[in-house]
Amino acid sequence: MIDVKIIRKPKNEGTAPAIKTGGTAYGGMAVKEAAHAAKADIAEQAKEAAHAAEADHAKKADLSGNAERAKYAEEAGHAKEADHAKMADDSDRWDNRQFDDYMDQPVRKGDHVQFASVETDSIRSAGTFVDGLLGEGFKLWRDEDGVTYLCIDKLTVRQTMTVLELLIEKMRSVGGMICVSAANGKIKAVSEQDGSYYIEFEQDNTFEAHDLMRCQTFSGGQMKHYWVEVAETDTKGVKIAKTEFTGALPEVSDEVVLMGNTENRQRQNIILISATEDGQPRIDVMDGVKAKNFKDCLRARLGNLDGINDARFPADNQPRGNGLYSDNAYLRGTFLLVTGEDIKTKFEITEGKIASSVSALRQDFATDKGYLNNPSFDEGLSKWLTENETVFWLVGNKWIWANDKVLTKKGDGASVTKDDGRVVVRIRNKYITQKNASLKSVPPMNTNSNGKKEALPVYLSFFYRCAGEGTLKVRFENVDKTGFENFNSLEVEEVLAPTNGYKQYTCNGLWNGTGDFKLSFTGDIYLYMLILSTDKIESLTYKYRTLFEQSEKLVKIAAQNFDKDGRVLAESGIMVKAEGSGIYAQGPDGKLALIGVAVEETDAEGYTRTVIKLLADNIKLEGLVTANGNFRILPDGSIEAKNGKFGGEVNAETGYIGGFAISGNHIGVSSRVLQPDGSYKVVDDRDGLFLYDTMIGFNAKDRQAIFGTWHSLGQPMLTRLVDTATDYTDSNGKKWGFLPKYGIIFDIENSMSGNFAFAGKGSGALNGFVDGFRFDKVKVDKANTIYDVEIKDSNRLIVACAVSNAGIALPRLPAMRSTLGIGQDTPFAFRLTVTSDLGAGDFVIFGRNKNKNSKQETPWDKEDYPLLTTWNGEQWGDMTMGQGDTVELLLVYDPERTAQIDGFSTQYTARIINRQN
């Protein structure tokens, strides 16, 4: 019989010496000693299997019933045979069968094995197999398309061989170097023409102007070499200046080849195949050959890499030996390393290292932001406590071993694992808790006026993926409220539904720095980046999440930028965002250079637009720059365009822009006046716009508006508005304007913070009057209530009181600062008129006072209420207003005042300057 025991195993920060089950402790040595006994028990249960026949003593012990015989299985002699019981998992396959039903001959590696038939898709020789002419070994195989192949060294056919198609390949050899390019030729004739050589080829000419033509031969111990630029071409040959030849001269039978072009980008690429006596066979792919050298032109090399020096690789690990060197590599299939690992395995290991770096980055951010220790679980469950349930499978009160491990089944619990590339903690119907002593820190608490400490609001944030619905509970256990003002400690309970991916969870409550943090879930949940902080929850929302996700993507993409010490090189890499991707480089000063591609939203016609973005301090474009054939930047710097819109600085001495003439260092309305000599001169019109470097103005008959920074008759001015125009003459000969005239019209409204038609410093002098006509009406319609009033649109308040024992409180200091749009230290004096409406009841006006409300509190004894003072320097806590009464007050804020009246400060006062009743 197989017994099942469920063991609850608490996890703690240490390592338990033994696992306790039913009061019995199994230590490390006990587990090892029990191994063979457990295996012998398995052998006893598997006595019907063929392998169990080997355990003869164990079988005898079973038949005789004498348990003492089973000791042989525990000891060295038969314990070795009992090891076969590991294979008893497959015993059901051997039911009622004998060994020789399936195996009647030796089948070891060195045995000669005979089979009646074998079905397989591949047979190959032992050791290494390499396909092709220069390969080794033999192989018969079938590929993915069902085509079969046979590769051997020799084939003997004793009778008939039927071949539907026979392809015989012969190996050929070419010594030296082969150049594959767009042009070549063999010189037929050479003649001189006006300081140049005209070279005619045996075949049609394939060279073009600005091609770099090269000849290099070695014969009789002498090397002939020239590398020259083609000036002109025709169908038969080329023309080259004599000055191009500095040594050897062109001769009949010279073989020449194209090796670059000084202007045409499409003719700057070649392929060189070398098999020379230098012992460095190779194939080179060159691109960008625009001069008589190969500097920075090697794009790829296959073969011997000796001699390549690339600053992007460490000085002590430059490319060498046979291999592949290239700008990019796109490889498919299976790749085997010299260590025996395939490339997939190796990359998985590398990605594990990268993931560790990313986790460390997340840990730095998380640890810096909260009070919990190990909030990202990168150190496992260190600093955390939990409880796990595990099922141990037993036979005869002994553990079952499988693959050198005790056979178990995990139950409910909490454990650290990896999910979607993240280090997370998985909680299944259990909890995690962190003792107060294990917290990284606790926030300092403030003490109130009663001498008691006050708990602080804390915010909890984490990312989670819910795999099975359950109830989330978050709380502090064993909270000590001694010495604290009474409060309700953080306690959250919420049902979470399954999610498709990771989401952010946030909650908040009060905490006094005591107690143990506990998070439990009754379902199945994965979570990470558990942050408990007194910062506002907004500081842990999207911007940190975005930073983490982008950091992970950039590290994974730029994994090749790790240096030999494991540090990430942040100077360059690949940037991937939702709106596009690009290649970037960033200097130590934070400046960024970017080449990016993106697909933007559809335009007005519904077409998707693709864009390429360039970002840098300097962008260098070499060669002729054109755009859709409508725009050109010429070599002399001039621009040709069909239309233009310019932003920034435009310098012009004359011409027209938008219908306005450019002349005399200004722009304005002008006319082209014919001069006696037949030419035209641009002259300003009297009326219209005029623009100088210090002003802009508009003229009309008897009307003018000027804005700028100029002087008029020595007086500095910013704005001048003049309107003396008339369109009507009365019977006395007096001229008038028929319609009303407005110099400035304001319409400033709909702001919750203040509507200012004009504001600033300075005085006003006007041959007229300036006044406002708006008032605000305050309704007092709730008895036993004092209304706080604010000045919004007017300094005239009409109070309509319809109840008894009620009134208003004068504007508080923060509200006045908001109304005036001034700072905290700005002094002010503001005139306020309060009138009791006709037919209204009596009401009171409160300044700062010590009057108590119905709760016996003194809510108006605060310094942001003005102290109500009289004309003789006394202070009134309040004053009563009857029907039709009016009082004028001067609200004064003087931060330099230190004097007091009846124990009240006098920095903010409401001074009665006029009262009528």
Digit-coded pLDDT (tens) for 224-235: 889 999 999 999
Characterise 858 by phi-psi region: left (phi > 0), alpha (psi -120 to 50), beta (else): beta
**Residue 580's pLDDT band (cuts 50, 70, 90):** low
Tell which wins on pLDDT, 51 or 758: 758
- Token code pair at residue 406: 């005790």
Tell which wins on pLDDT, 1 or 261: 261
Say what the pLDDT of residue 746 is. Answer: 84
- Give the mean pLDDT of 17-25: 37
- For the ranges 5-19, 413-427, 760-774, 826-840, the lowest mean pLDDT is seen at 5-19
Say what the pLDDT of residue 94 is. Answer: 46
**Residue 281's pLDDT band (cuts 50, 70, 90):** confident
- Give the mean pLDDT of 530-540: 65
Average pLDDT, the chain: 77
Say what the pLDDT of residue 840 is. Answer: 93
Say what the pLDDT of residue 282 is. Answer: 86
Percent with pLDDT over 70 in the chain: 69
Residues 6+ apart with CB under 8 A from 745: none
- Token code pair at residue 70: 């089973």
Decide if pLDDT at 859 tops 80: yes
Which class for 77: exposed (0-12), middle (13-18), buried (19 or more C-beta within 10 A)? exposed
- For the ranges 462-476, 636-650, 651-665, the lowest mean pLDDT is seen at 651-665
Tell which wins on pLDDT, 353 or 469: 469
- Give the mean pLDDT of 819-835: 92
Decide if pLDDT at 518 tops 90: yes
Decide if pLDDT at 570 tops 70: no
Choose the most confident range, by mean pLDDT, from 166-180, 476-490, 547-561, 673-687. 476-490
pLDDT tens, 295-334? Answer: 889 999 998 888 787 877 877 788 888 889 998 888 877 7
- For the ranges 469-473, 616-620, 661-665, the lowest mean pLDDT is seen at 661-665
- Give the mean pLDDT of 672-699: 76
Tell which wins on pLDDT, 853 or 335: 853
Say what the pLDDT of residue 104 is. Answer: 76
Decide if pLDDT at 388 tops 70: yes
Buried b (16+ CB within 10 A) or exposed e, 292-329: eeeeebbebbbbbbeeeeeeeeeeeeebeeeeebeeee
Helix (H, G, I), strand (E, B) or coil at 540: helix
Tell which wins on pLDDT, 244 or 44: 244
CA dist 716 and 341 (Å) reads: 84
**Among 536, 471, 542, 539, which Cα is nearest to 504's?**
542
> Are the C-beta atoms of residues 68 and 58 closer than 8 Å to each other?
no
CA dist 454 and 235 (Å) reads: 96
Say what the pLDDT of residue 767 is. Answer: 80
**Among 818, 702, 697, which Cα is nearest to 756's?**
818
**Residue 538's pLDDT band (cuts 50, 70, 90):** very low
CA dist 319 and 316 (Å) reads: 10
* Domains of the chain, CATH where assigned: 177-326 (no CATH), 370-550 (2.60.120.260), 564-602 (no CATH), 655-736 (no CATH), 776-916 (no CATH)
CA dist 341 and 334 (Å) reads: 11
Signed CA dihedral, 666, 667, 671, 674: sign only: positive
- Give the mean pLDDT of 802-824: 92
Helix (H, G, I), strand (E, B) or coil at 228: strand
Decide if pLDDT at 809 tops 90: yes
Decide if pLDDT at 55 tops 60: no
Say what the pLDDT of residue 156 is. Answer: 85
**Residue 571's pLDDT band (cuts 50, 70, 90):** low
**Residue 882's pLDDT band (cuts 50, 70, 90):** very high
- For the ranges 301-310, 340-349, 710-719, 792-801, the lowest mean pLDDT is seen at 340-349
Tell which wins on pLDDT, 586 or 142: 142
Say what the pLDDT of residue 497 is. Answer: 95
pLDDT tens, 126-178? Answer: 766 766 554 568 889 888 878 888 888 778 888 777 765 555 444 444 556 78
Say what the pLDDT of residue 345 is. Answer: 52
**Among 447, 451, 565, which Cα is nearest to 512's?**
447
Tell which wins on pLDDT, 137 or 44: 137
Element (H, E) at 45: helix 28-45
Say what the pLDDT of residue 28 is. Answer: 39
CA dist 209 and 241 (Å) reads: 12
Say what the pLDDT of residue 563 is. Answer: 38
Say which amino acid occupies 74.
E
**Residue 412's pLDDT band (cuts 50, 70, 90):** confident
**Residue 340's pLDDT band (cuts 50, 70, 90):** low
Say what the pLDDT of residue 65 is. Answer: 47
**Residue 587's pLDDT band (cuts 50, 70, 90):** low
